[in-house]
Amino acid sequence: MSESYAEIAFQMIAFLFAISVHESAHAWTASRCGDPTARMLGRVSLNPIKHIDPIGTVLLPLVAAISHIPLLGWAKPCPVDPRNFSNPVRDDILTSVAGPVSNFIVATGALILLWIISLTSMTGHLLVHAVGSGIGGLSGSILDPAVLLIYELMIINIVLAVFNLIPVPPLDGSHVIRHFMSGSVRSVYDSIGIFGLLALVYLGGNLLSSLIRPFIIFYRSMMVAF
């Protein structure tokens, strides 16, 4: 498998795992807060089939990977009924931020795995530092696929976490600030949100990059800290 095809395959695997973790975290937190809707539908699961949206999970990420543009997409929305929450505002916020938080946890776990690989052998050390410095690739080592897959897992979870924290409906970040709006403002905010999301995805490339890049730079700098 060539480096390009390997990278696309690893990105797709990492993306499917990242959205599965993200949606499972939403469903699990909602269940803990009193709403069993998603849990009863089998959404507390790392099985990506439970979360796949044909366009957002398959088509768009595949096109992005092939086109070498930042891999963005979405999963099938996690069904939540706030009427089941004991504290609707608090529990809605907790359920919403659980997804991005879970992605940061996975990204940090991937970083720790890369540290372990770096510390256990000279080959691993050189490969992790090369990838973290942006000059890595397939070198013929048996560690190549492991390092590249873990690296893609780290990066994609960072992207997914930061993207979903942007306060544009229906992204997770919007569920935090909408509760501080008056009823009329919130209604307008919710109704026009999808247009803001489309504008953000298709016209806000520089904005998205400026929001996500600092987190990627931080994690990549931590990769080569040891």
Q: Which residues are catalytic?
A: 23
107: nearest Cα among 210, 220, 26, 9: 220
Q: DSSP secondary structure string, 147-203?
A: HHHHHHHHHHHHHHHHHHHSSSTTSTTHHHHGGGS-HHHHHHHHHHHHHHHHHHHHH
In this structure, the chain runs to a length of 226
Alpha-helical (H) ranges within the chain are 3-32, 37-40, 60-67, 88-120, 122-132, 144-165, 174-177, 183-203, 205-223
Supply 52's token pair: 């796949």
> What is residue 45's three-state secondary structure?
coil
